């Protein structure tokens, strides 16, 4: 069997793209490694970090979450469905699990209403849509938002 190279396929993720028709995007090992190294450095993820695995496995954000943790030696904190579906439970879970990094959608926090202040200061990485700062600023007063 031939040895793997950086150009071999790492995974395929499906996206609706601009047409609404699902299409597979093939990601090579070199692309995945470059992305993850960059994000680990950008968000200061290290062996003492605790990365929340929140995104559905069908979304590319889940690859970021999992690989940023594994690639840096950080802990991967997996949120079960009941936590993922309830913003207040999620907020408490972040604190209970001492999560240091979380990838979330702005809509989740915008629609959550008033959430209590956290005693921890997680780095919140937004994706999926542009955040409306005014709508989520109160919720994020105890977070470092990226």
Domain annotation covers residue 21: no
Domain annotation covers residue 28: no
Distance in angstroms (rounded) separating the CA atoms of residues 101 and 143: 10
Domain annotation covers residue 130: yes
- 3-state SS assignment for residue 3: coil
Residue 132 has pLDDT above 80, yes or no: no
pLDDT single digits (tens) 36-73? 999 999 999 999 999 999 998 888 889 999 999 999 99
The tally of domains found in the chain comes to: 1
Domain annotation covers residue 48: yes
Domain annotation covers residue 31: no
Domain annotation covers residue 53: yes
Domain annotation covers residue 17: no
Its domain, for residue 122, covers 43-145
Domain annotation covers residue 86: yes
CATH number for 66: 3.40.50.980
Across the range 106-117, mean pLDDT stands at: 76
29 phi/psi in degrees, rounded to 5? -55, -45
Torsion sign, CA atoms 35, 41, 42, 44: positive
pLDDT single digits (tens) 69-90? 999 999 999 999 999 988 889 9
pTM: predicted TM-score of the whole model, two decimal places:
0.84
Instruction: List Cα–Cα distances, 5 to 10, 33, 34, 140, in angstroms.
Output: 10, 12, 14, 42
């Amino acid at each position: 069997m031939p040895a793997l190279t950086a150009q071999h396929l790492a995974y395929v993720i499906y996206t609706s793209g601009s047409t609404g028709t699902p299409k597979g995007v093939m990601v090579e090992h070199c692309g995945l490694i470059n992305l993850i190294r960059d994000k680990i450095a950008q968000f200061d993820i290290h062996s003492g970090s605790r990365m929340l695995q929140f995104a559905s496995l069908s979304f590319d954000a889940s690859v970021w979450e999992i690989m940023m943790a594994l690639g840096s030696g950080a802990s991967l904190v997996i949120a079960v469905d009941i936590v993922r579906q309830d913003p207040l439970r999620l907020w408490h879970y972040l604190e209970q699990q001492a999560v240091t990094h979380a990838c979330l959608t702005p809509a989740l926090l915008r629609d959550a209403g008033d959430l209590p202040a956290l005693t921890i200061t997680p780095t919140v990485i937004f994706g999926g849509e542009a955040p409306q700062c005014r709508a989520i600023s109160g919720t994020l007063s105890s977070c470092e938002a990226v």
